[in-house]
Every structure is written in C-alpha cells, then in structure tokens.
C-alpha cells in the first residue's frame, strides 16, 4: 500500500521533545481566539478539529481534558507540521492494517472477487457552508464512508452528518500552513482506497472549482482507482443567491467569470488579471482574493472597468456568521479593511450587484448607476 511505504519514511525521524510538547499543547489547549471560536469552519488548531480527529492522537494525549482558556498563538514551522504528522502515524498504520485484514477476510469467506478490489474514492462538494445546501447524494455518501479527508472550508455543521463509525482526518490548508501537502493527500487517498475502504474527500463548495479536485482525480485514476465526483453548490452561486444577486441578468450581465485571487508566493499581487476580466457586461467572482483585493481592484480599473462598478465582499457566506460589505469598486478594498473581514471571503464585482435588495443605494440610484456604466 502506497502510504505504508510513506509511513516508513516518516518514521525514520523522531519527534523532538520540544516540538512534541508544542503539538500536544495545541491538542489539549486549542486556541481560543475570536475568529476560531466564532468560525463555522474547521480552523487549523480549533477544538472541533482535535475532537473529531482525536483517534489519531489517543496514544499520546488524553483529549477529554480540554482547557479552552489558552489563547497563545502556536508556532507554524515546518517542524511542527511534521511532528504533528509523526504523532498521527501509529494510528494511521493501525487503521490501514485493520482495513486490509477486513478486506482479506471478506475475500476468504465468500470468494467474491469484487470485494477484494480497491475501494472507491468520492470527491464530495459540501457547498459554501450551510448544511441544508448539501445534495441528497452527498449526505448518503458522507454517512456511509469509512474514512473522510476534509478541508478547512467544510463547515462544522456539515461534519456533524458523518456516520458514528467513520474516521475523520483533517488535511486543510490555510495561507502559510498546510497540514498536508497536496502530494501527501494524494498518497493518503490512494492508500486507503487500496486497503478497500470507502474513502470520501470532502471539499468546500464544488470539488472541481478551485478545489484541486481535478488533480486528485487524475492521480487516482492513473493508479487504477475509481473516482466518483459528487458536485456541490459552488460559493459563487450559493452566496450570490443568498444576497439576491443574479450572476447573469438579461440586459445587465451576459456572462460570469470565476477568478482566483491567489498571489504568487503569498504576496499582495493577484496571480492573473486579464484585460478581458474588466468586461462591464460580465460578472466577476473572485475566490480567495481578500489579501490581493487592493491590487485587483486597481488593475481592473486600469483595464477599463468603471470605478463606480457595484461590488460586494462576503465573509463566511450562507453561515450564521456571514458578514457582507457593499461598495463601489474604487471604495471596496478600503471598506473591507475597515470592517476587518477575514477568510474565507468571496468578492462579486459587476452591475448585477446593484440588483440585490440589500444594495445600499436606492433602487432609483441603482438603476441610474447601471445605465451610466
């Protein structure tokens, strides 16, 4: 099995006493910062994460004794990440062996060749956060999974739907901290599938929209693993609908474009802003663009998009913690900074934003604005 060989490599180094203490401190004393406490999603060192994944650490610490009063910020060095993985390895190995023996037992009892083959991997989109936006198919798969690898933007409410006997493994990424590299995620998915498990890969939104689901699907299929994709409501449509913003509208916007706001090497400059992105007759939806918003807005205006184009920035859309900032494009970045929006924040830019019943200008002003643009 692929991961077993990877585990041997990881096992070649020992966990330093200093970093062991730091990692176990995170588990027994999760951060109580405001954003972690109020987030509907899985923050990297939140209480919810370690409660769900406690089976991975049961030989190292007693997770029933939580001390939520600790507010110290953890180190996020590469050594801390590697030591956290090292602490998980014994239980990961054990689970793989259990799954392998279970599959061999089934094959030995009834000789059913199909049961001896690899398990299936499901790439499941969980939508923008509201659990009621899940598809029925997604719920059924989530409840039948043996193991689920979940991202940061899978909401805590969605994870409450997981079956009681399933194992959960956090593989989320945030800016500057990847609990698992993409290559490590590939190997985990492959190893559990080869062991015969029903593996579910949970992703926020839709798994094939800025979720790297295509990379995971391609890798697994090359290894002979069957992959089934269960679509989710992508944040663009889910959050826009929540605000009453039609992404396309006759006479106002005849197309919609999804754009990543990611920067190169974590900088403040957006990765790619084409001149065609500044089309006034199109709607632009920017994912992961909070840190690059000032540069993005400037480039769009330089490419010809009017400065008074209606825009909205939505933090944690469709969840009870949703916060929304409406502004014209030239003022959006400043207003977002004043309101201190945090990730995940979706940005919608275009004349259709003024069609929202929540747009702060009067309907007459909004109508005149769209005619002038």
Active centre residues (catalytic): 151, 173, 288
Quote the tokens at residue 108. 């030995």
Asked whether the beta carbons of 43 and 150 are under 8 A apart, the reply is no
Q: What is the C-alpha separation between 45 and 95, in angstroms, rounded?
A: 23
Report the interhelical angle of 213-222 vs 182-194 (nearest 10°): 50
Full DSSP string of 163-195: -TT-EEEE--EETTEESS-HHHHHHHHHHHHHT
| CB-CB neighbours of 173 under 10 Å | 17
End-to-end, the C-alpha distance of the chain in Å comes to 59
Q: What is the C-alpha separation between 118 and 88, in angstroms, rounded?
A: 23
Q: What is the C-alpha separation between 232 and 203, in angstroms, rounded?
A: 9
Q: What is the C-alpha separation between 150 and 171, in angstroms, rounded?
A: 6
- How many Cα neighbours within 13 Å face the side chain of 28? 13
Smallest CA-to-CA distance from 27 within 57, 59, 7 is with 57
Q: What is the C-alpha separation between 163 and 161, in angstroms, rounded?
A: 6
Q: What is the C-alpha separation between 98 and 219, in angstroms, rounded?
A: 25
Q: What is the C-alpha separation between 27 and 63, in angstroms, rounded?
A: 7
Residue 299's alpha-carbon distances to 150, 252, 259, 294, in angstroms, are: 35, 22, 14, 9
Backbone φ, ψ for residue 211 (5° rounding): -120, 5
Asked whether the beta carbons of 324 and 290 are under 8 A apart, the reply is no
């Amino acid at each position: 099995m692929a991961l077993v060989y990877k585990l041997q490599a990881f096992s070649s180094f020992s966990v330093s006493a200093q970093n062991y203490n730091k990692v176990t401190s995170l588990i027994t004393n999760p951060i109580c910062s405001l954003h972690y406490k109020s987030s509907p999603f899985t923050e990297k060192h939140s209480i919810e994460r370690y409660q769900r994944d406690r089976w991975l650490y049961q030989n190292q610490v007693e997770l029933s004794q939580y001390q939520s009063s600790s507010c110290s910020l953890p180190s996020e060095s590469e050594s801390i990440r590697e030591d956290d993985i090292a602490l998980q390895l014994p239980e990961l190995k054990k689970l793989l062996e259990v799954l392998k023996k279970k599959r061999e037992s089934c094959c030995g009892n009834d000789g059913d060749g199909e049961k001896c083959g690899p398990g299936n991997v499901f790439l499941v989109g969980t939508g923008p956060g509201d659990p009621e936006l899940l598809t029925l198919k997604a719920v059924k798969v989530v409840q039948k999974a043996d193991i689920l690898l979940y991202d940061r933007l899978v909401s805590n409410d969605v994870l409450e739907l997981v079956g009681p006997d399933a194992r959960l493994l956090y593989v989320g990424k945030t800016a500057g901290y990847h609990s698992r590299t993409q290559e490590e995620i590939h190997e985990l998915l492959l190893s559990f599938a080869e062991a015969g498990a029903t593996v579910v890969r949970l992703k926020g939104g839709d798994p094939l929209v800025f979720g790297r689901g295509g990379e995971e699907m391609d890798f697994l299929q090359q290894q002979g693993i069957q992959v089934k994709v269960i679509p989710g409501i992508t944040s663009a449509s889910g959050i826009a609908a929540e605000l009453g913003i039609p992404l396309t509208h006759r006479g106002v916007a005849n197309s919609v474009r999804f754009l990543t706001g990611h920067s190169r090497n974590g900088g403040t400059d957006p990765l790619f802003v084409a001149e065609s992105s500044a089309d006034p007759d199109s709607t632009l939806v920017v994912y992961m663009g909070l840190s690059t918003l000032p540069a993005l807005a400037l480039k769009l205006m330089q490419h010809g998009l009017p400065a008074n184009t209606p825009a909205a920035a939505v933090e944690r859309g469709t969840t009870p913690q949703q916060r929304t900032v409406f502004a014209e494009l030239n003022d959006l970045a400043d207003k977002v900074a004043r309101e201190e929006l945090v990730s995940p924040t979706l940005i919608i830019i275009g004349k259709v934003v003024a069609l929202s019943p929540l747009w702060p200008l009067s309907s007459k002003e909004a109508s005149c604005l769209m005619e002038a643009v």
